[in-house]
Structure 1
Amino acid sequence: MLAVDMETIRKQLPVWVEVSRPHAAHGKVASYIPELSKAPADALGVTILTKDGESASAGDCGMRFTLQSISKVFTLILALMDHGEDEVFSKVGMEPTGDNFNSMLKLELVRPGIPFNPLINAGAITVSSFIRGRDPKEKSERILQFFKDLTGNPGLDYDLQVYRSESETGNLNRSIAYFLKENGVLSGDVEEVLDVYFRHCAILADCSDLARMGLVLAHNGVDPMTGQTLIPRRYVQIAKTFMTTCGMYNASGEFAIQVGLPAKSGVSGGILSLVPGYCGIGVVGPALNDKGNSQAGVHLMEHMSRELDWSMF
């Protein structure tokens, strides 16, 4: 990694955002969740946060959006903290699929039919069933509190309109969940598990929240802002590996080559990334490419990684 001071990054970041912003025109805002279609297609923002508390932001970094699949990284971590590796990975695999994030194809073709990894929908729904709590309300409260701790933002909350929109139109996710239940992979009441899943996907955040979460991962579970250990190091290792191999859907290999950093995207246009040992990165750009990743956001990540020599490889 090049030794670039934050003042230089602050000066260059607005320029890089405007170089990448036109690429949003080649993408489309997600519409299969109706509420997400209201997002501005040309928005693009970024925040970078270092362990010293220095930050750089540019573009539409204050725009709030729902975490969507970004939340899957942290519900996996919470499930691991609740149950341990052996139990969680008895029901969820560790391999990329090469299929769309909402595909059921491998569930039917590959025995015993467990989801390939925890970052596709089938895997994340299964992981949601592992969160401890007496009922969906308590489970969701624990998840939300975990995100509040990770972001240092006590005001974090749900976008209830997006939650309802996902719940009312999530027929494919229901099909996946009932298929998992039929195969003995999913335990508990299907609708209650789905309620937990839809709710954590609808947590509202902005780029600074993503950057803070990325910073915790960059420092192996310790929040440098407080010195508090929030996640065991082993579970951070697992999460960062999944982010590298599966975090950008079935474009994860290309992202690893072009950017070379662990990352997780969501269909609201968010990207959470990190430079190990250095910084957390939060990006938003609602217009998506055909893989479901932010069109302009991916371009921005590629540009920053090249300019700053951030690739781990």
Structure 2
Amino acid sequence: MNGAKDIELAGSRIGVLREDGSLVVKDGNLWSSWTEQTGNVKDFELTPSRIGVVLTNGDATVKEGDLFAGWVNQAGGVKEVELAGDRLGVLRDNGSFAVKEGNLWAGWTEQAGGVSAADLTSPATVPTNGVTLQDLRNIYGTIGAPDTVQEGLESLNAEMVRGGITTPARKAAFLATLRNESGFRYNALEGTGATYQGRGFIQLTNDSNYRGAGSNLGVDLLGNPELARSLQYSAPIARWYWTVARSDSNNAADHYDMGLISRYIGYKASSAEDAERCNDFKSALRYFNGGSLPVPDSQITCNRH
């Protein structure tokens, strides 16, 4: 691209701030199309799941999910925005620095004044070794096809980090979903023999989803649907579905809304299935939260809506 003022890279995303103040981002391979984001930008930051900008009027706004997600206004009088994992920081024009952690509607925590430059790292609580087979056994008991599950965990953990699926609630919702979709098997296959039947960790179905995931990942899944349950693409597809195709999934998990996540997954309506997935969510949430739920049971939404 010509006329570029600044460039940022994060995961498979490339962002370019043009000289005229407009911001464009692409996600996928280097030949993906650019998506216009906004104009009048003086500073911006990327992560694999978020885009943050400071406009020339000093307003900071952030979007989470795919490139077409809506903006969520954050603060005014901002000089610089910083993103790392589920942390968001703003350096204000008056030299004060504030950070929030969690979803985009979380409250600010003031950090310091008299600041001239700032940077963020992801929370140190994010495990470096990710979810293990023993974790799954501790949560759910016996795990079927353990060798296959173990084989897929390295790529699954990498995509969970990439998709910001790292808090107790987000991990619990994601794992509860995968348990019911595929039993944590990257090569799971379910259906009646249709070309685009359920495949992989997330049980990708329908030609529109195969097309969307393939476009995002730079692979022809329409022409090669079996790749959706390959070790190379199964986990990236699951992350794509969670953070791009259903870009509000992390936010729903942050609000303990397993019912909304179940609607996003789109299985045949069943109150019994809703309850089973929600119980799996609660089991994982207790485990990752140190043995107890972080909120009263009444604050967890189980039924689809």
Normalised to the residue count of structure 1, the TM-score between the two structures is 0.30
Larger radius of gyration: 2
Relative to its length, the structure with more strand (as a share) is: 2
Relative to its length, the structure with more helix (as a share) is: 1
Normalised to the residue count of structure 2, the TM-score between the two structures is 0.31
Instruction: With a CA cutoff of 8 Å and minimum separation of 6, indicate the structure with the bigger relative contact order.
Output: 1
